[in-house]
Amino acid sequence: MSNNDTIYDVIVIGGGLAGLTSTIELARSGRKVLLIEKKEYPYHKVCGEYISNEVLPYLRSLGFDPIAFGAADIKRLRLSTPHGKNIYTNLDMGGFGISRYTIDNELYKLAVSKGAEVLMNTRVTDVTFADNQFTVTTNDATYTSKLVIGSYGKRDTLDKKLDREFIQQHTGYTGVKYHIKIDYPHDEIGLDNFKDGYCGISRVEGDTYNLCYLSYRAPKDEFRNIAELEEKVLFKNPVLKDIFQRATFLWDAPLVITQVSFEPKQLIENHIMMCGDAAGLITPLCGNGMSMAIGAAKLLTGLIEESEILDRSNITATDRQQLEDCYTKLWNKQFKTRLYWGRKIQGFFGNPLLTSAFLNTVHSIPPLERRLIGLTHGKVL
């Protein structure tokens, strides 16, 4: 199939939270927008599924209220050291728990209702920019547009095609996610540390809980399988062992992703404006990647509209450069510090003695504890 005769205002590559939010915003401004997503909604995704409340009013303004879909209201944080000592603190802003299965699917429906075209089960394999327009190639067609938003997440073969620097580095970071049933406080998110990683637990819709961890090790290098990693490493923390042993696991096998990278990335690649994890992934212990993805989409689409670039019959190189510069400046202002502190704080985790010392020290100085949480979060959107 080919669709060469239509020139879209914007093609959005990847329909996670950054891509879906961008698509909804552009469609509701009356833009001709095409979202291309390689999977089919609804589907599960590796993620802790705890979203900071900073995005709640904005999501409602788009027409999606997570609470109406049974999202959990989360107010308290429990941290355990690798040796199993619990520390409790209140979350000033708090957050909500909702599965990606639900939120992504509902935002997809919203995007369609606003008039966006959405292609599912379609993978973008290449993007080129020439003669002032983009050509986006998928597994079965090519499409053209004036602008392209790259919101295809943490890592994709597209990054290789674009020769992005971070893709050259191999990381051992592995993400593992389950949905479970368990007797656990409804309004609490737990972050349980283990040697070389940490595991989150919090409620999503109904009485289902998300259990998701990041291990700095590539399990296949040292263990026969994920179960062995859990038994030999995670279960050294007695709190985690208890959670795993009491849980009823709802899936036959966990969802697993490997090669997760927290390295800084280029925001603009060959005029593609990156958004969400494709622009930079904050360490999951901050519980802030999803609100950053939504916030970056709001920022970028707001700038596109403000620039009026899509109203011009001919976009000049200067127009494009101004938009890209403005996005870069404001993205750095809004997100760069959070990514930096996320990496720094994660540096204290992993080594059991250092993690325990760090958590005990920070917890004994409440203003410092609040400051560290504040540094990795933003204001209400």
Ligand X SMILES: Cc1cc2nc3c(=O)[nH]c(=O)nc-3n(C[C@H](O)[C@H](O)[C@H](O)COP(=O)(O)OP(=O)(O)OC[C@H]3O[C@@H](n4cnc5c(N)ncnc54)[C@H](O)[C@@H]3O)c2cc1C
Residues that bind ligand X (CB under 6 A): 13-19, 36-39, 45-51, 123-124, 151-154, 156, 158, 175, 200, 212, 214, 260, 276-277, 281, 284, 287-291, 293
Rounded Cα–Cα distance for residues 353 and 346 (Å): 14
Rounded Cα–Cα distance for residues 273 and 151 (Å): 9
Task: Pick between residue 48 and residue 82 the one whose CB is nearest to ligand X.
Answer: 48
CB of 166 to ligand X, least distance (A): 14
Rounded Cα–Cα distance for residues 118 and 108 (Å): 8
In angstroms, what CA-CA distances link 124 with 2, 143, 238, 277, 314? 14, 10, 44, 17, 26
Task: Pick between residue 82 and residue 200 the one whose CB is nearest to ligand X.
Answer: 200
Task: Pick between residue 8 and residue 50 the one whose CB is nearest to ligand X.
Answer: 50
In angstroms, what CA-CA distances link 126 with 44, 162, 334? 25, 8, 29
CB of 365 to ligand X, least distance (A): 25
CB of 319 to ligand X, least distance (A): 26
Instruction: List the beta bridge partners of residue 130.
Output: 133
**What string of DSSP letters covers 24-77?**
HHHHHTT--EEEE-SS-SS---SS--EEEGGGHHHHHHHT--GGGGTPEEEEEE
352 upstream amide cis, omega within 30 of 0:
no
Instruction: List the beta bridge partners of residue 212.
Output: 177, 200
Q: Which two tokens stand for residue 9?
A: 């205002």
CB of 279 to ligand X, least distance (A): 8
Rounded Cα–Cα distance for residues 59 and 264 (Å): 27
Q: Which two tokens stand for residue 286?
A: 């901050």
CB of 330 to ligand X, least distance (A): 17
Rounded Cα–Cα distance for residues 119 and 242 (Å): 43
Task: Pick between residue 70 and residue 365 the one whose CB is nearest to ligand X.
Answer: 70
What is the biggest distance separating any 2 CA atoms in the chain, rounded to whole angstroms? 64
Task: Pick between residue 276 and residue 378 the one whose CB is nearest to ligand X.
Answer: 276
- Which ranges in 226-316 belong to alpha helices (H)? 226-232, 238-246, 289-307
Task: Pick between residue 14 and residue 94 the one whose CB is nearest to ligand X.
Answer: 14
Rounded Cα–Cα distance for residues 76 and 188 (Å): 5
Task: Pick between residue 46 and residue 304 the one whose CB is nearest to ligand X.
Answer: 46
Task: Pick between residue 106 and residue 277 the one whose CB is nearest to ligand X.
Answer: 277
CB of 3 to ligand X, least distance (A): 16
Do the beta carbons of residue 153 and residue 278 sit within 8 Å? yes
Task: Pick between residue 81 and residue 151 the one whose CB is nearest to ligand X.
Answer: 151
CB of 32 to ligand X, least distance (A): 19
CB of 147 to ligand X, least distance (A): 17
Minimal CB distance to ligand X: which residue? 16
CB of 13 to ligand X, least distance (A): 5
